[in-house]
A = this chain, B = another copy of it.
Amino acid sequence: MNSDLPSLTKFLKTLQQVPYLASKNLYRVAAHFLHMDTARAEMFCQILLETKQRITKCTICFAWQEKDQPCFLCSSPKRNRDIICVVESWQELVTIEKTGGYDGLYHVLGGVICPLDGIGPEQLTIEHLVTRVAAGANEVILATNQTPEGEATAAYIASKLKGLPVTISCLARGVPVGSSLEFMDRLTVYKALSERRPF
């Protein structure tokens, strides 16, 4: 079948490179684009390419910003410039912003230290973070994910910041809001117990 439909096969291979597109949905997504009118498909491409042209990374916090405007996070007069929240990627930044409960600055690492994938500290923006913190900050929140790599990266950053006059904190661990203890894994319950808070 692949050799019978070369154009379609090429398109499927291209779609396959898009992450988080389950392979069982690949054919459905391809069908969506094939059924779309050409004008809409052209619009899709135009928006994709325009976005790539207009969006860049802030040279301070490494979050996405519009090329012709200052970073909306770093330049905001409403944000508390004393706290820097360190996140792995832009997705986590969005997640935190959506809570509406944080008004400090951010620092996007661009990944986590993962020697197996060949990602060392120098591939991340850790050096920039140290410079930023040294230039003045009261608190650094290490909000990397609760994975072995995320925690190792947080530990590495903490060691790099040692000696600087800054408070280092990390996210609370425990039972997620709305869940029952019964369905939690042992380690989470253990952490929730040992890191218990006053009522």
Q: Which residues of A contact B (CB under 8 A)?
A: 1, 4-8, 10-11, 14, 18-22, 25, 27-29, 31-34, 36, 38, 41-45, 47-55, 64-66, 72, 89-91, 94, 97
Contact = CB atoms under 8 A, between A and B. Distances in A.
Which 3 pairs between the two chains have the least Cβ-Cβ distance? A4-B72, A45-B45, A20-B25
B7 A55 contact: yes
B97 A64 contact: no
A111 to B, nearest CB: 11
Given A19-B32, A20-B21, A34-B55, A14 B90 contact: no
Contacts of A28: 19-20, 91
Contacts of A90: 27, 31
Contacts of A1: 72, 94, 97
A78 B47 CA distance: 44
A21 B19 contact: no
A49 B55 contact: no
Given A64-B34, A89-B31, A45 B49 contact: yes
B49 A5 contact: no
A64 B5 CA distance: 8
A7 B66 contact: yes
A80 to B, nearest CB: 17
B51 A7 contact: yes
Given A27-B94, A28-B19, A51 B34 contact: yes
